[in-house]
Every structure is written in C-alpha cells, then in structure tokens.
Structure 1
C-alpha cells in the first residue's frame, strides 16, 4: 500500500499532471471522512478529494473531533487527489475513554487509503442516471492498547480480536442532481474491522470478511451550506463489543475552496459491554486545502 501511494505522488510531483487549478465546483471534493477518504463524515464517496480537475491535482488536511458520553475520537490526516481520478490518503486515529473502568483507555491506529474513479462523472453527466463510481482500499494498522496495563491488556488480540491489522475494500456510487441540489451516495464495504479497526480485526464471534452497506444523502441549501445524514452498518465480531451501526446528521459549511467546517450529531451505538449504552455526541471536523 505504501509503495502504491508513493508511486501516485511521484507521478504528480514529476509533472504527470498540470499545476493545481482548483477548477472543480465548490463542495464537490466532499469533506474528510473520519478514516481519511473524501466523502461524508463516516462513509466514503466516489468523489475525489481536492479541487483539481482531470488535468490537475488537489490536496487537503483535516482535523476531526468526536465526543460522546464515555469516549473521544480524534482523527488527523491528509488526502491528495490526482487528475480527479486517483485519491491517496493517510489518517491517524486516537480513541480515548473517560468513564471507569475504561477511563484510561487510549488506542491509536494508522490508516492508508487508495481510491480510484472507474466510471461516470457526478458533475458533468447530469443527463444520465449512471452515477460516479469508485473503488477503494484502506489498510489499517492498530498500534496497541494503552491505559489497561493494570489489567494485562496491551494489544487488541487480548480483547478477542484475531488480528491487529487488516484491509477494508469498498465500492462507492455517488449521484449529484444539480437541478435539485441533491447528492446521494451508496457504499458497499467488505471488512473484518471492529469499530473501524480500533478494536482490531475479526474476533471470537466471527473472523470472515463481511459486506456491509453505507448510505449518505446531502441537500445543498445554497452554494456554501450542505445539510445531510449518513448511515453505516458494521460487523459484530467481538463478544466484548456489542457493535452497532453508526449514523449521523450533519451541516457542512464551505466558505471557500480552501476551507470547510462540518458539525454533526453522531450516534455510534454500543462500544463495549463495559459501558453498555448508546454513545451519542458531537462531531466537529475542520478541513483545509486546495
């Protein structure tokens, strides 16, 4: 995965595409998904990050904060879009607990992503029902469990996970109806990840790759504001984690092509059997780029 990302960036750096032009429509790069890919907050879209056109490139950096009653998730990352066709991304996630017995919990993971547009164009193909389609892969590496050393737990495998690293594979279809100011997205993700990989991959209940659906809808209130909602199904692999679907309702503000701010109400469902209640809270994400 690292070699593929390096090769894509090398093409851009060596003049394989023209200088950055910021020629795409405002908001058509999406916002930074919590795993680093361009899309909504919790699910990737077929759109390519950045505002570079098919003869150019674009890039952005993001910082995301998500706080529920008992947990906090921070995510930082960068994404580069090349020729409005290829996207490479990196994100670092840090997950913390605030309620005993998990008040010292600290888990980090790195996520490397690659996305390729394979069909359609969400903006320019308004006279057809065919959506823009992209395929993607995310390599996730869990960096261990902190704060639970007193319990003898330092790795997600000790919580029942089969692996501390794994891949997600997905296909996304995005349709933008400019006439109605409406964006619709559907994603199918093949995954073994527990809570996006924060609790490892596979488990005592299941260790097979499963395909789960994800959906997004956004209404463009005006050129700078988008109101929407997302839903993401996830596998339930661990006995200690009664994993449920994620969903959110969001408002994204695009004051310019260089910056966007997203605020959302998010519901992450149950996280572990140690704090058995639905985790709900606020989601804030700042993205800057070109």
Structure 2
C-alpha cells in the first residue's frame, strides 16, 4: 500500500514538473519564424506593410510561443507630418493585439498650427492557411481583423472655432475598421503577395473623423502589397490603398508607396519608403508626397 502511495506521489510530482516546464517554455519567446515573416508595423499598428495590414501575425513567436514589438514611424510631406508609435503582441502565431497612437501636424499656413491625435486598438485573428508552410498549395494565409479608432480632437485651430472633426463635416469622432487579409509567401520566388479588403468610414485613416457630409456608410476598400526579398535581410516592394471620399473639405485620394525594408536581425527592422498620400484638405490642395521612415524593435 505504501509503495502504491509513493508511486502515485512520484507520478503526481513528475506530471506537475512537466506542466511547469511546459509553462516555462511558453514564457520564453522562441523566435522560431523566418526572418521578415513577422512583417513591419503598419501605420495603424498592425503587423504588415507600412500602409496595409497582412494576414501574418506580428512578432517571431511560433504556435508554441509569442512575440512582441514596439515601433516608431515618421512620415513627412510638403505640408504635413505624421508620427505613429505603439506596441503589438502576437500570441501562438494565431492572435495579434496592437495599440498605436498617431499625431498629425501641419507646417504651412493656414494649417501650420494644426495638431490632431488619434488612438487605435487593433485585433487580428488567423483563420486559415499558412503563408510559409503551405508551399505545396496556392491557399494563402487568411486573417480577419478590426481596428477601433478614437479621434482626440483638433488642436491649433481654436482661433477659428474648430476643435472637433465634426465641425469639418465628419459624422463621428470614433469608429471601427473591419478587414480580411490574404497573404501568400512564395519561397522559391522570394516573393510576398498580399490583398486586404477593408470596410471603413474613416477619413484619412480617421484623422479627419468618420463618415461625412457626402457619405456616411461603410464602403469596401481594396489594399494590396507586393514584396521581393533581395536576400534574407533586405526586401523591396510597393503598396496601394484605396480611400473613401466622405468629406466636402477633403478630396481624399488613394495612398501608394514604394519601400525598402532591412532586417539586420529578428530584433530590429528599418523601413524607408517614398509615399504619395494625395490631397489632405482643400485648404492645401496639392498632392502630398514625402518620405516614410519606421523603426521596429522586438522579438
């Protein structure tokens, strides 16, 4: 009887130790994904390209681990600048959570004092396929996601009596974007292809609010990315993003860019791009073009 009790006790201790070891392994990021497959940080905080989210989950954690990163992005055009910074975590290569803040400022009169801030919370879930391991199939990796955005008002235009995006014709100062992304990596061709369909009412990503005096309904917007890996640490590519046109004061145009991304290690990436963002408002009616630079650090 004593031997049975001792045996059961040892089995219990062994099982407990095994579970503890498994839990400890989960607490350690394994960084098991291929370099560059964690993507970079998109302007709204999601893992992907600079302009559009991908179906890939951010970070380098595999299905038995997790990954996380922090990023800072600066975009400068002739008349405006945009700063974006935030953090994101990928869990079990299945779920991604992100938190980002944007600050949009003007540099040319009459909007040289303009300052608009926005917070964005994002969630993405992988629902089918695997962009890396399904090389024998044309099935892409597919993920669905949502971004809740809250505009924090307009600064610098108080003398004109403008403090909220609703005064520019927007219907709301907060809103949600919904999207589905499909990403395919062709390892033999060193090529990444991505397509995203976004349902949105956001004006300039939400910087000018949601909905407007012209339209106030969700519209599907197509976003695409293509990237070519010159080697394991360097990629070049291009992106395109359709935009809604909801406001009379904002003749919004589609975004597009060409980029180069450098991955010196899995802990760091640097992305530079030349972006065209179209007209921002009728007050400075010119095609806004400029440089985009993003730094991401994580695991």
Scaled by the length of structure 1, what TM-score is found?
Answer: 0.94
1:150 aligns with: 159
Shift of 1:19: 2.2
2:5 aligns with: none
Shift of 1:226: 0.4
* 2:274 maps to which of 251, 255, 265: 265
Structure 1 consecutive aligned stretches of length 4 or more whose deviation exceeds 2 Å: 14-19
CA distance in 2, matches of 1:110, 1:210: 22
CA contact 1:17–1:83 (8 Å) conserved in 2? no
1:10 aligns with: none
CA contact 1:254–1:260 (8 Å) conserved in 2? yes
SS in 1 for 2:188: helix
SS in 1 for 2:182: strand
1:201-247 Cα deviation digits (max 9, x unpaired)? 00000000001000000000000000000000010000000000000
* 2:115 maps to which of 106, 124, 130: 106
Please state if 1:215 is matched with 2:224: yes
User: Does the C-alpha gap of structure 1 residues 166 and 16 become closer, same or farther in structure 2, counting only changes over 3 Å?
Assistant: farther
Please state if 1:206 is matched with 2:215: yes
2:256 aligns with: 247
CA distance in 2, matches of 1:46, 1:86: 11
* 1:32 maps to which of 33, 41, 60: 41
SS in 2 for 1:196: helix
CA contact 1:145–1:156 (8 Å) conserved in 2? yes
1:9-68 Cα deviation digits (max 9, x unpaired)? xxxxx8794521000000000000000000000000000000000000000000000000
Aligned residues: 277
CA contact 1:138–1:169 (8 Å) conserved in 2? yes
Structure 1: any 5+ residue segments left out of the alignment?
1-13
* 2:242 maps to which of 233, 239, 244: 233
CA distance in 1, matches of 2:241, 2:25: 36
CA distance in 1, matches of 2:252, 2:275: 15
SS in 1 for 2:278: coil
CA distance in 1, matches of 2:296, 2:49: 12
1:171 aligns with: 180
Structure number with greater Rg is: 2
User: Does the C-alpha gap of structure 1 residues 125 and 281 become closer, same or farther in structure 2, counting only changes over 3 Å?
Assistant: same
CA distance in 2, matches of 1:182, 1:254: 16
Structure 2: any 5+ residue segments left out of the alignment?
1-22
CA distance in 1, matches of 2:26, 2:125: 16
1:136-175 Cα deviation digits (max 9, x unpaired)? 0000000000000000000000000000000000000000
CA distance in 2, matches of 1:15, 1:161: 49
Scaled by the length of structure 2, what TM-score is found?
Answer: 0.92
* 2:77 maps to which of 60, 68, 87: 68
SS in 1 for 2:205: helix
